[in-house]
């Protein structure tokens, strides 16, 4: 029985879902061929085998089959070793939720431009530090609110924190128009902080401590 391996024709409904104004080119992606790798490996193996049999002094290096112990050791070492640097994938995992509009202006087939869909240099030097700074400020304020709530509660056992508009405006100050906890909805603090690299949190804490120390010294001098 013969099998038809060609792709089925694209329906009109699928074509209607494509963005308007773009030309559709039907193309089937070809799987990468393993022939070049197999050819080079075979030639290298044959050359080593010929050298071992023809030279008076055999080569010390040769192809040996990988044992189960070696394979498990390599897999364990690969999984236990953390990645060395920060790549575009880390930034995409952290900041892609910012590219999803809350109220889309166009139907789903259309894509809206976002500030996170920019080159890596602009994202790392312009947008990421701004978002990390705001999230660090929010996290510090949340810790201070929890600490203050524990101090005023009896025996350190506080009640359940209220998240209504009036309660949040009372904690943050200002009017009730904005819920500040919804500024970056969907972002993970751990993923965002990871894009700053190792030691970024300690650097922020040290800079904040210097600012507090400077403000206290200025207040003391003005009081004199």
- Cα first-last separation, the chain: 99
Give residue limits of the domains in the chain: 88-102+112-157+187-223
For residue 213, give the nearest of 103, 17, 221 by alpha carbon. Answer: 221
Residues 149-171: tens digit of each pLDDT: 665 555 555 566 666 666 666 66
**Residue linked to tokens 């359940």:** 160
pTM of the predicted model, to two decimals?
0.47
What distance lies between CA 171 and its chain's CA centroid? 31
**Cα 14 from Cα 145, distance rounded (Å):** 52
Residues 16-72: tens digit of each pLDDT: 777 777 777 776 666 677 788 888 888 888 887 787 777 776 555 555 667 788 888
Give the per-residue pLDDT at 1: 46
Give the per-residue pLDDT at 17: 77
Q: Which two tokens stand for residue 223?
A: 């009081």
């Amino acid at each position: 029985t013969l099998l038809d391996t060609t792709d089925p024709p694209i329906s009109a409904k699928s074509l209607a879902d494509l963005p308007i104004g773009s030309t559709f080119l039907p193309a089937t992606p070809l799987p990468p061929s393993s022939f070049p790798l197999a050819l080079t490996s075979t030639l290298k193996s044959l050359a080593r085998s010929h050298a071992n049999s023809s030279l008076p002094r055999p080569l010390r290096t040769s192809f040996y089959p990988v044992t189960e112990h070696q394979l498990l050791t390599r897999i364990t070492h690969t999984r236990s070793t953390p990645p060395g640097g920060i790549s575009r994938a880390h930034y995409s995992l952290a900041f892609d939720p910012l590219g999803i509009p809350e109220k889309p202006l166009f139907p789903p087939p259309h894509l809206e431009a976002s500030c996170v869909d920019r080159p890596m240099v602009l994202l790392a030097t312009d947008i990421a530090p701004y978002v990390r700074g705001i999230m660090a400020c929010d996290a510090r304020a949340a810790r201070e609110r929890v600490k203050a709530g524990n101090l005023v509660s009896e025996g350190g056992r506080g009640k359940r924190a209220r998240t209504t508009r009036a309660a949040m405006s009372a904690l943050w100050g200002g009017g009730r128009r904005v819920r500040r906890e919804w500024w970056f909805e969907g972002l993970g603090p751990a993923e965002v902080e990871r894009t700053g690299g190792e030691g970024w949190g300690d650097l922020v804490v040290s800079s904040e401590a210097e600012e507090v120390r400077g403000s206290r010294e200025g207040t003391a001098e003005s009081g004199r």
